[in-house]
């Protein structure tokens, strides 16, 4: 088995993310504390967080954004593309992501050409 640099840090980030997601509805302050730990851990160890995790953390209060419990999701139409706008209920910060029918706005890691080899 190949060892990855920062393997224990990735495990800790995963655990904190799951804990933050479970606690987010009842205790948003504790969720934002865990989110802050996730970001600081990734910065300290110079690790890149997975884009899905990065998108679900609020930029200001670091709370985990979940539909209807800690965030409000709206679809907006602007010119040729649609935009998804996340609004944090804790600090009212807004995040927007473009979604177009013609263009592929996925992260490169999520695209099928990013997979070189599947090992079972």
Examine residue 107 and state whether it is found in any structural domain, yes or no: yes
Task: Report the greatest alpha carbon distance in the chain.
Answer: 49
Examine residue 120 and state whether it is found in any structural domain, yes or no: no
Instruction: Return the pLDDT at 72.
Output: 92
With vertex at residue 84, the alpha carbon angle to CA 82 and CA 36, rounded to the nearest 5 degrees, is 150
Examine residue 16 and state whether it is found in any structural domain, yes or no: yes
Instruction: Return the pLDDT at 116.
Output: 78
Model confidence band, residue 17 (pLDDT cutoffs 50, 70, 90): very high
Examine residue 36 and state whether it is found in any structural domain, yes or no: yes
Examine residue 108 and state whether it is found in any structural domain, yes or no: yes
Instruction: Return the pLDDT at 64.
Output: 92
Q: Which domain holds residue 75?
A: 7-114
- Under a CB-based contact definition with an 8 Å cutoff, are residues 89 and 72 in contact? yes
Which of the pair, 113 or 44, is modelled with greater confidence?
44
Note the pTM of the prediction, 2 decimals.
0.76
Read out DSSP for 9-43? HHHHHHHHHHHHHHHTTT-HHHHHHHHHHHHHHHH
Coil, helix or strand for 64? strand
Instruction: Return the pLDDT at 4.
Output: 77
Examine residue 49 and state whether it is found in any structural domain, yes or no: yes
Beta bridge partners of 81: 78
Computed on alpha carbons and rounded to an integer, the radius of gyration of the chain in Å comes to 16
pLDDT in tens, 50-98: 888 888 999 999 999 988 889 999 988 877 678 889 999 999 999 988 7
């Amino acid at each position: 088995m190949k060892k990855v640099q920062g393997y224990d840090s990735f495990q800790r980030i995963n655990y904190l993310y799951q804990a933050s997601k479970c606690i987010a509805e009842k205790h948003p302050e504790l969720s934002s504390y865990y989110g802050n730990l996730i970001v600081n851990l990734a910065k300290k160890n110079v690790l890149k967080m997975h884009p899905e995790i990065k998108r679900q953390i609020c930029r200001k209060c670091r709370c985990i954004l979940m539909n209807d419990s800690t965030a409000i999701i709206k679809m907006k139409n602007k010119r040729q593309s649609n935009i998804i706008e996340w609004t944090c209920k804790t600090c009212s910060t807004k995040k927007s992501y473009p979604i177009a029918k013609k263009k592929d706005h996925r992260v490169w890691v999520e695209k099928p050409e990013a997979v070189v080899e599947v090992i079972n």
